[in-house]
Amino acid sequence: MEYNKKIITDLNNLEGKKVILRCDFNVPLDKQTLEITDYTRIDAALKTINYLIDKKAKVIILSHLSRIKSIDDIKSGKKSLIPVFNALKKKLPNVKIVFEKNNTDPLLFQKINNMENGSIMLLENTRYNDVNEKGEVVKLESKNDSQLGKFWASLGDIFINDAFGTSHRSHASNVGISQNIGESALGFLVNDELVKLSKAINNPQKPVIAIFGGAKVSDKIPSIKNIGKFADKILIGGGMAYTFLKAQGYEIGISLFEADQLELTKQLLVEFKDKIVLPVDAVMAKTIDDTGGQTYDVGEFNPELEGVDLGEKSIHKFKEILKTAKTIIWNGPLGVFENKAFSKGTLEICKYIAEITKSNNCYSVIGGGDSAAAAVKFGVSKEFSHISTGGGASLEFFSGKVLPGIDCIKNKN
């Protein structure tokens, strides 16, 4: 898919302009201390923020943090953006930054007008609007309430979307604002995502090898169908592999699988019969929390155990296919990598892709989510050509769907 959207550098005369900036500060927090445990998303937004500060704009930042399902989620303060506010103050020590607890306060108009040029106002979690004062779940943000979108749009002159992680959603804080504001553009982060993900999709260098893992086949079917049109091979691992094996009639023990996806899985096996590659063996255990397991060949699985990782034969087979790749698209871990005992498949393939990215001049892309977390955990994230900041958004992108948070931005001409 080709994009012709305005980007931040297409905007002129930003000095004194009120710029609403949608960031993705959905950062992980320590459950006890509420301290941020990974600053990746904040660091990724700094290029756009600093650009706007240098241009002397008034920057009004919106973001969500987690899902808000009850009034307790709000009253507890555990999903507040205050930790992000504190982080921004440390990372931008020379910039005046204020935090507003009420993101729908009518007094915001005057406060924003009084902002200094080159300063920042961070508004509280956008999803606080998903639950009202009575505790009713109303989802004004998540379902793009027209009045909420209009209110936020009225706070500024320009809207910039720099939150790729929510660009596959039609929310009040992206689509709602852009529909009610005169000017809009993409930030550096989102534009970078589109450029780098497009390189793997639009006329990629062949051979193209796609790797899909994780728990659910249902999440990946649209992407498999779209990428399958041009990929040379599609490697399937993780929990979703057992739905494919079940569809072929194999015993899978008590392994995770989606019964309602069996027919669609069978169709994929027919449509891409020369491309889909499944595991030939697997490590099995009683539970995903076990300290070890036993390896069984496909066709000989223990009916009382569940598959938790790739076996040695599967790892070797996947590597043999990957070694000639010039483009690799990876989404989803290949086992229960959070448990060290069952992390070998994900670890070995992750490190191997990192190696051939350099040695083969291969273009390697991770579609965010758990596979990105695995690359970070194993210390090879910088070896990949690109790691997306949005798991769900990258999956939608890979499936060829229009991303609402991108589509709503003004075209260049």
Helix axis angle, 82-91 to 40-54, nearest 10° = 60
User: CA of 374: how far to CAs of 124, 213, 238, 342, in Å?
Assistant: 30, 12, 13, 12
pLDDT at residue number 38: 87
Q: Who's near 410: CB < 8 A, 6+ residues apart?
A: 5, 6, 178, 183, 184, 185
- State the DSSP code for 328: E
Over its C-alpha atoms, the chain yields an Rg (Å, rounded) of 23
Q: Is the pLDDT of residue 303 over 90?
A: yes
pLDDT at residue number 370: 86
Q: Please answer whether residues 332 and 212 qualify as being in contact, where contact means their C-beta atoms are separated by less than 8 angstroms.
A: yes
DSSP state string for 137-198:
B--TTTTT-HHHHHHHHHT-SEEEE--GGGTTS--IIIIIHHTTSSEEEE-HHHHHHHHHHH
Q: What is the pLDDT of residues 335-365, one digit of tens each?
A: 999 999 999 999 999 999 999 999 999 999 9
Q: Kindly report the pTM of this predicted structure.
A: 0.92
Instruction: Beginning with the edge strand found earlier in the chain, give each strand of the sheet holding 97-100 in spatial order.
Output: 97-100, 120-123, 58-62, 18-22, 158-161, 183-186
Q: Is the pLDDT of residue 393 over 70?
A: yes
Beta bridge partners of 72: none
DSSP count for the chain of H helices, then E strands: 15, 15
Q: Is the pLDDT of residue 2 over 70?
A: no
Rounded distance between C-alpha atoms, residue 123 and residue 164, angstroms: 19
Rounded distance between C-alpha atoms, residue 409 and residue 413, angstroms: 12
Q: Is the pLDDT of residue 1 over 80?
A: no
Rounded distance between C-alpha atoms, residue 188 and residue 341, angstroms: 39
User: CA of 286: how far to CAs of 35, 283, 295, 313, 345, in Å?
Assistant: 35, 11, 12, 21, 18
Rounded distance between C-alpha atoms, residue 8 and residue 329, angstroms: 28
Rounded distance between C-alpha atoms, residue 313 and residue 330, angstroms: 20
Q: What is the pLDDT of residues 78-122, one digit of tens each?
A: 999 999 999 999 999 999 999 999 999 999 999 999 999 999 999
Task: State what percent of residues in the chain have pLDDT above 90.
Answer: 93
Long-range contacts made by residues 130-136, C-beta under 8 angstroms, separation at least 24?
Answer: 130/67, 130/68, 130/69, 131/68, 131/69, 131/70, 131/71, 131/73, 131/74, 133/71, 134/71, 135/70, 135/71
* Averaged pLDDT, 75-80: 95
| Confidence label for 332 from pLDDT (cuts 50, 70 and 90) | very high
Rounded distance between C-alpha atoms, residue 73 and residue 158, angstroms: 31
pLDDT at residue number 148: 98
> Measured at the alpha carbon of residue 322, what is the angle toward residues 318 and 328, in degrees to the nearest 5?
115
Q: Please answer whether residues 119 and 100 qualify as being in contact, where contact means their C-beta atoms are separated by less than 8 angstroms.
A: no
Q: Is the pLDDT of residue 413 over 90?
A: no
Position with higher pLDDT, 373 vs 117: 117
- Map residue 325 onto helix, strand or coil: coil
User: CA of 103: how far to CAs of 108, 124, 155, in Å?
Assistant: 8, 6, 11
> Measured at the alpha carbon of residue 314, what is the angle toward residues 311 and 319, in degrees to the nearest 5?
125
Rounded distance between C-alpha atoms, residue 348 and residue 344, angstroms: 6
The mean predicted confidence, pLDDT, of the chain is 96
Q: Please answer whether residues 390 and 370 qualify as being in contact, where contact means their C-beta atoms are separated by less than 8 angstroms.
A: no
Q: What is the pLDDT of residues 215-231, one digit of tens each?
A: 989 989 999 999 999 99
Rounded distance between C-alpha atoms, residue 282 and residue 312, angstroms: 8
Q: What is the pLDDT of residues 14-43, one digit of tens each?
A: 999 999 999 999 999 998 999 999 898 999
Give catalytic residues, as residue numbers: 41, 216, 369, 392
Beta bridge partners of 18: 58
